[in-house]
Amino acid sequence: MNLIVDAGNTNVKLAIFKKSEIIHLETVVVDLFVEAVKKIFKEFPKIEFSIISSVGSLSKEQIKVLALFSNLHELSYRSKVPFKNSYASPQTLGVDRLALATAAYYHNPHQNNLIIDTGTCITYDMLNDFDEYLGGAISPGLQMRYNAMHYQTSKLPLLEKKELLDYIGNTTENCMHSGAVNGITLEIDGVIDLYKARFKNLTVILTGGDTQFLSKRLKNTIFADSKFLLKGLNYLLEYNKH
Annotated catalytic sites, by residue?
96
Residue numbers belonging to the annotated binding site for ATP = 6-13, 120
CB of 74 within 8 A of CB of 63?
A: yes
Phi, psi at 227, each rounded to 5°: -105, 15
- Name the residue among 109, 125, 102, 134 with its Cα closest to residue 239: 102
Residue numbers belonging to the annotated binding site for substrate = 87, 94-97, 172
Residue type at position 99? A
Paired strand residues for 193: none
Paired strand residues for 4: 15, 51
C-alpha dihedral sign at 120, 137, 133, 103: positive
CB of 72 within 8 A of CB of 51?
A: yes
Length of the chain: 242
CB-count burial class (<10 Å; 0-12, 13-18, 19+) for 161: middle
- Name the residue among 138, 135, 158 with its Cα closest to residue 146: 158
Residue numbers belonging to the annotated binding site for K(+) = 117
Euclidean distance between CA atoms 237 and 188, whole angstroms: 30
Rg of the chain on CA atoms, in Å: 19
Residue numbers belonging to the annotated binding site = 6-13, 87, 94-97, 117, 120, 172
